[in-house]
Amino acid sequence: MHVLILGGTTEARVLAGLLHPGARVTSSLAGRVAAPRLPAGEVRIGGFGGPDGLAAWVREHAVDAVIDATHPFAERISFNAARAAASAHVPLLALRRPGWVAGEGDDWRDAGSLAEAAAALDGLGDRVFLTTGRMGLAAFADRPEWFLVRSVDAPEAPMPARTEVLLDRGPFTLEGERELIARHRIDVLVTKDSGAAATAPKLTAAREAGIPVVVVRRPPVPEGVPAVASPEEAAAWALRV
């Protein structure tokens, strides 16, 4: 069988390894990271040209099942996948990692978008640890605070005038996050609710440091698409269809 996995997430790579070589696996990466970690099996990089293009690709390459294992904030591709799978008449599963949950001692501030997160910084401090990725920095471009921006690849303008860029790729350790927050005298952390353990230590470090965290909520997902939380569940599903 031929399984198309959408996404370059850690879960997508694990899933590809579980399915390959028993099944033909093609992983589709968006191409936003210059040197992505490649999964097992075949790999394609770049968009499909919307839901119609994705549906055409699925038909042309005789795909038997599609698994949407994209990042929780890759909103457009999830909706495109739902439309394409329905059009091509192939089963679709969403592999969605659980979101983070605030615990005792956490000071989390909810935001519905990057723009809301930027507005929420009023009065929280002058030194911001921004871990929302290199895309969307324009939302913070007019802010007066100093920003430590961490991303895999170098961000592009517009961005805040007072910015230091830290190029790094997870997973991150709790000890490392503690040291980073202390060394840069961070007052507030801004992050997306991406979930996953690889980047969760920053939340514990923020709680220990007693600093607030502005958390951007996940965007909506397509209705009616079955979902699982682990690569193992997704692999079992693929082998049943």
pLDDT per residue as tens digits for the range 89-133: 999 999 999 999 999 999 999 999 999 999 999 999 999 999 998
Query: Using CA atoms, how far apart are residues 152 and 143, in angstroms rounded to an integer?
Result: 23
Calculate helix-pair angle for 174-183, 201-209, nearest 10 degrees.
Answer: 50
For the segment 141-151, the average pLDDT, to the nearest whole number, is 97
pLDDT, tens only, 32-75: 676 788 899 999 999 999 999 999 999 999 999 999 999 999 88
> Is the pLDDT assigned to residue 86 strictly greater than 90?
yes
Give the chain's domains with CATH numbers.
2-98+219-240 (3.40.50.720), 108-216 (3.40.50.720)
Q: What was the pLDDT predicted at 142?
A: 97
For 165, the token pair is 């860029």
Q: What was the pLDDT predicted at 96?
A: 94
